[in-house]
Structure 1
Amino acid sequence: MYFGRVVGSVWATIKSPQMVGQRMLVVQPLTPELKNTGKPLICTDSIGAGAGELVYWVRGKEASFPFSPQEPPIDTTVVGIVDEVHVKRPVQVLAPAPAPARKNSRKNGPC
C-alpha cells in the first residue's frame, strides 16, 4: 500500500463496460513523510474519497480486489482514507568508543 493525496478526478463517457459506474481519481503519490514523489496517477475509487484527502492505494492485481467478483481492467485503486499518520524517525546508534589501552601497572612486567 502507498500514501497519496487526491488532487483531481477523471470523467470518461466512453470506457470499458467493466468500468461503467467506477469513479476515477487523480492521486499524487506521497512518501511515508507525506512529501510528493513521482508523477500523479489515475486510480479507481473504492471508498468515496474526495479532493484533497489523504488516502492509501494499492497497485497490481490487488487493485481489483475491492470490485470482486468482477475483475475490471485496473492497476491502481484507492482503498482507504487516512485519518492520522505517525512516523517514528530511525535513530542512528553509534558504536561506543573503544576503551583506552591499559598500561601495565606492574613495574617488573608479567610473571
Structure 2
Amino acid sequence: MFLARVTGSVVSTHKVESMVGQKLLTVDPLRIDATLQATLKPLGRTFIAVDLVGAGEGQIVMIVQGSSARMTDETAKLPIDAAIIGLVNEVSAHGKEIYSSSTSA
C-alpha cells in the first residue's frame, strides 16, 4: 500500500467488457521528503488506478497494487494492477503533521 496524488483521469472507449463503467485515474506515488521530513514528495512515476472511493483530482489517496488490487468485491474479476482504496485525511510522521486535507488546497 502506498500514498499517491490523483493527477488526472483516463478515458478509454474500447476495453474489455469487465472494465466498462470503471473510473480510471492517473496517480503519482508520494513519499515523505527525506530531508525536510515535513512534506510529501512525488516519486516521478505515474500509474493508472481504478477508483473505488470517488477520488478527485488533487486528492491524496491510498493505493494497493498487484494481487491486493483484486481483493475487493468490486475488483475480484477485473484485470487490474492498481486500485484506489481510500481517501487520505491526514498524514503524520516523525512527530509532525505532514498533510491534512482540511488545510490543503
TM-score bracket for the superposition, by shorter chain length = 0.7 to 0.9
The amino acid that maps onto 1:5 is R
Indicate the residue corresponding to 2:101 in structure 1: none
Give the root-mean-square deviation of aligned CA atoms: 1.6
1:95 counterpart residue number: none
- Count of aligned pairs between the two proteins: 89
Superposition TM-score, scaled by structure 1 size: 0.74
TM-score (norm 2): 0.78
Contact 1:46 1:66 in 2 (8 A): no
Structure of higher CA gyration radius: 1
Identity %: 40
Indicate the residue corresponding to 1:106 in structure 2: none
The answer to which of 13-22 and 65-74 deviates more is 65-74
4+ runs of 1 displaced by more than 3 Å? 67-70
RCO comparison, higher one (Cα < 8 Å, 6+):
2
Q: Distance in 2 between matches of 1:58 and 1:36?
A: 17
Unaligned runs of 5+ in 1: 90-111
Give the direction of change, closer, same or farther, for the CA distance of 1:52–1:69 in structure 2 (3 Å limit): closer
Q: In the aligned structure 2, how far is the partner of 1:69 from the partner of 1:37?
A: 26
Which blocks of at least 5 consecutive residues in structure 2 are unaligned?
34-39, 96-105
In structure 2, what is the Cα distance between the partners aligned to 1:41 and 1:30?
Answer: 12
